[in-house]
Amino acid sequence: MKKYREVVGGSVFFLFAATYFVMAFGIKQYNDGFLSSDFIPKIYGGVLMLLSILQVLFAVFNSKKGRAQEEDQEPGLSLGQTLLSVALTFVLLIGYVSLLETVGFIIMSSIFIFLMTLMLYPADQRTVRRLLWVALIAVVFSSGVYFLFVKAFALTLPAGILG
Amino acid sequence: MIWEGISTVLLNPSCLVWIFIGTTVGIIFGCIPGLTATMAIAMFLPVTYNMASTQGISVLTALYIGGISGGLISAILLNIPGTPASIATCLDGRPLALKGEAGKALGVGIVFSFLGTILSLLALVLISPPLASIAIKFGPFEYFSITIFSLTLIITLSSKNVIKGLMTGVLGLIFATVGMAPIDSVQRYTFGNPALKSGFDILTVLVGVFAISEILLAAEASWTGSKKDVSAITDFKIKGFGFSFKEFTSQIGNLIRSSAIGIGLGILPGIGSGTSNMLSYSVARSQSKHPEKFGTGIIDGIVASESANNATIGGTIIPLLCLGIPGDSTAALLLGALIMKGVQPGPLIFQQNGQVVYAIYTAMALASLFMLAVMFVGMKGFVRILKIPSHLLLPLVFVLCTVGAFGINNRLFDCFALIFFGFVGYLLQKGDYPMPPLILGFVLGNIMEMNLRRALSYSQGDISEFFTRPMSCAFLLLAALSLAINIYGVYKSRKKDSSAVN
């Protein structure tokens, strides 16, 4: 499992570095100085490609050498569930930020805090009473933050439909 | 003149009250991830318009001291550094808190933040003119060499796996290349998006990588119900500052070394508390008799990080007052405030505005005392944050992070960048890649490239000048030395590990 993770990690890094490296050739060059702006990115891309190859090689080499001491850290959780919860969190985060400007800070933050907490809440402890509390905290916190920053610190936050 | 300066602050009740308010607000800004001392100063600038010059400057320095100090609270309690200055505090502060000694970790952080500020203040008062005259001689060659030296420290920061540490370090450098290139302003990796022209803000990278990734990890854990709960450590006890006199005396050497590093880096423009805490942490670790204990929750790590980042404050103010050179954006705001009040920083400031200079010294001393007091009184309250269950705490933290990200430029782009870096941080954590090298690479990337290109323009493309200039050569040698020592250290610990297994 550990070896698999290292190989995947190294490969992802390699692909990223290779793309970055290739894209560096498209950077405009002005040859009035002694280094143009594409030089440093090419170095970084090259070094990162090299390092990721080394990581993969080490992972393969080490697993051959010490197969016995390999520890399996994965707590039995299925890949599907993990992906689902992380994807859901993403949708919440992106949804929150995208709607922030049109709907407004107070409403969106309250909704976000409530939904996010609902998602993270351990399933066996979810009771209506507790969720009502969460809703109250969400609204009070969002309004509190809004008024503190907008009134006291003169920071602009999107007011949205309330404004 | 000296007494006049001191008395305008000390004998003026409204000034004292304002310093107190400044310190407290600074601490609040410091401990909320995404809000920093710089932002606090920018917001308070209009408030100081109608104040007398000494009072206005005093408030702003108080905000600065509070802002740098407050970051340790969230670093220790939430594993999310409140400001870039407290990244290294997480490394030992968090494990110590997990052992049920959050009170001790906070106490150590607070006391040594205070001592770091005071030491840097002493340096400011006693040796600022000669120090500043050396620093002004630093040209692009010296800067390039010093960033190279700082980058070699990635190895010490990368804990177990050096290759992975280097990889995240280079990744940080790569993220720093997004936007307009130094010198010729060529657009790189902007994908035609105008918002990317100015590159990513350090805050979005830091908060995304440290805070948002925590939220994603918690989301993952919630389904399986695995107990990786922030609230797991409610068992804490605090007595005084939580550490013994013997523990204190054992850290004096560490305190002096870390503060010296902090002051030194503070003096150099462009390299500030974001770098000094990590640098002094790595130095403390390599100088320690028991480097293997670093990262497991020993106070040495907290002392190194917190005394260095606060010492950077005094260091930054040295060139600001003596030469009128602001080292970072925070110092630039202070410079603007000084000029607005009719005080012209520079070599003549001691003759023309001596009173203001001594008032600033007094305000700094007072602000650090207030910081100590406010944080000590608030400590029991802070620790209570741990009692808030993580499923409620993390969404609240995210909302605050969004406020911080939005506040950088008043645009939603930075909030999306925040989520992007959260995803990057999450993937890196899943792959067991260390985070601090990424931040160090990101902070130093532009400074390094800009000075390399400047230096090569000066020398007409001749590389040998990096070695013929004494200071530059010294730093390159130090870099080579640090590389050799670190690689040897890694080799030795690996040998030890494998012999322990067999």
Phi-psi region of B373 (alpha: psi -120 to 50; beta: other; left: phi over 0): alpha
User: Which band of pLDDT confidence, cut at 50, 70 and 90, is reported for residue A33?
Assistant: low
Alpha-carbon distance of B428 to B426, in angstroms, equals 5
Is the CA virtual torsion B137, B142, B144, B146 positive or negative?
A: negative
Run of H or E residues at B382: helix B354-383
DSSP state of B180: E
E strand segments, B347-469 = none
Phi-psi region of A122 (alpha: psi -120 to 50; beta: other; left: phi over 0): beta
pLDDT of residue B330: 81
Task: Look at B161 and B71; give whichever has higher pLDDT.
Answer: B71
Alpha-carbon distance of B180 to B457, in angstroms, equals 19
- Cα–Cα nearest to B374, from B13, B10, B16, B23: B23
Residues of B in contact with A97 (CB under 8 A): 402, 412, 415-416, 419
R_g (Cα) of chain A, nearest Å: 24
What angle in degrees, to the nearest 10, is found between the helix axes of B299-323 and B354-383? 160
CB contact (8 A) between residue A48 and residue B170? yes
Given a contact cutoff of 8 angstroms between Cβ atoms, the answer to whether B233 and B98 are in contact is yes
Alpha-carbon distance of B442 to B171, in angstroms, equals 8
Burial (Cβ within 10 Å: 0-12, 13-18, ≥19) of residue B229:
middle
Given a contact cutoff of 8 angstroms between Cβ atoms, the answer to whether B78 and B385 are in contact is yes
CB contact (8 A) between residue B219 and residue A154? no
Give A143→chain B minimum CA distance, Å: 12
Mean pLDDT computed over A31-50 = 87
3-state SS, residue B163: helix
Residues of B in contact with A79 (CB under 8 A): none
Given a contact cutoff of 8 angstroms between Cβ atoms, the answer to whether B435 and B228 are in contact is no
Other Cβ atoms within 10 Å of B367 Cβ, number: 27
pLDDT of residue A68: 45
pLDDT of residue A70: 45
R_g (Cα) of chain B, nearest Å: 22
Given a contact cutoff of 8 angstroms between Cβ atoms, the answer to whether B106 and B72 are in contact is yes
Alpha-carbon distance of B341 to B328, in angstroms, equals 20
Q: Where are the domains of chain A?
A: 2-65, 79-162
CB interface of A with B, residues 48-77, below 8 Å: 48, 51-52, 54-55, 58, 66, 69, 75, 77
Burial (Cβ within 10 Å: 0-12, 13-18, ≥19) of residue B410:
exposed
User: Which band of pLDDT confidence, cut at 50, 70 and 90, is reported for residue B226?
Assistant: very low
- Cα–Cα nearest to B88, from B482, B440, B488: B440
Given a contact cutoff of 8 angstroms between Cβ atoms, the answer to whether A93 and B208 are in contact is no
Given a contact cutoff of 8 angstroms between Cβ atoms, the answer to whether B370 and B20 are in contact is yes
Is the per-residue pLDDT at B118 higher than 90?
A: yes
Predicted confidence (pLDDT) per residue in B406-447, tens digit: 877 888 899 999 999 999 999 998 888 988 888 888 888 888
Q: Alpha helices, DSSP H only, in B184-298?
A: 202-207, 213-224, 245-250, 252-267, 273-287
Give yes or no for A110 touching B (CB within 8 A): no
In order of B158, B323, B358, B429, the CA distances from B140 in angstroms are: 28, 18, 33, 36
Given a contact cutoff of 8 angstroms between Cβ atoms, the answer to whether A148 and B43 are in contact is no
Alpha-carbon distance of B468 to A55, in angstroms, equals 37
pLDDT of residue B500: 61
Give yes or no for B461 touching A (CB within 8 A): yes
pLDDT of residue B184: 82
pTM, 2 dp: 0.80
Run of H or E residues at B187: strand B187-188
Predicted confidence (pLDDT) per residue in B308-318, tens digit: 999 999 988 98
Mean pLDDT computed over B212-239 = 62
Given a contact cutoff of 8 angstroms between Cβ atoms, the answer to whether B253 and B308 are in contact is no
Alpha-carbon distance of B497 to A108, in angstroms, equals 51
Alpha-carbon distance of A26 to A8, in angstroms, equals 28
Is the per-residue pLDDT at B157 higher than 90?
A: no
- Cα–Cα nearest to B89, from B373, B367, B295, B286: B295
Which residue is closest to B426 within chain A, CA to CA? A86
Mean pLDDT computed over B61-79 = 91
Pairs of CB atoms within 8 A across A/B: 170
Alpha-carbon distance of B304 to B232, in angstroms, equals 27
Q: Which of A82, A119, A153, A156 to mutate to test the interface with B (most CBs of B within 10 A)?
A: A153
Q: Alpha helices, DSSP H only, in chain A?
A: 2-24, 39-65, 79-103, 105-120, 128-147
Q: Which amino acid is at B102?
A: A
Alpha-carbon distance of A111 to B115, in angstroms, equals 44
Predicted confidence (pLDDT) per residue in B472-487, tens digit: 999 899 889 888 877 7
pLDDT of residue B231: 45
pLDDT of residue B466: 92
Is the per-residue pLDDT at A72 higher than 70?
A: no
Mean pLDDT computed over A61-78 = 58
What angle in degrees, to the nearest 10, is found between the helix axes of B273-287 and B87-96? 50
CB interface of B with A, residues 333-362, below 8 Å: none
CB contact (8 A) between residue B225 and residue A141? no
Least confident piece of the model among A87-101, B145-159, B167-181: B145-159
Given a contact cutoff of 8 angstroms between Cβ atoms, the answer to whether B382 and B77 are in contact is yes
Give A113→chain B minimum CA distance, Å: 5
Alpha-carbon distance of B288 to B151, in angstroms, equals 20
Phi-psi region of A77 (alpha: psi -120 to 50; beta: other; left: phi over 0): beta
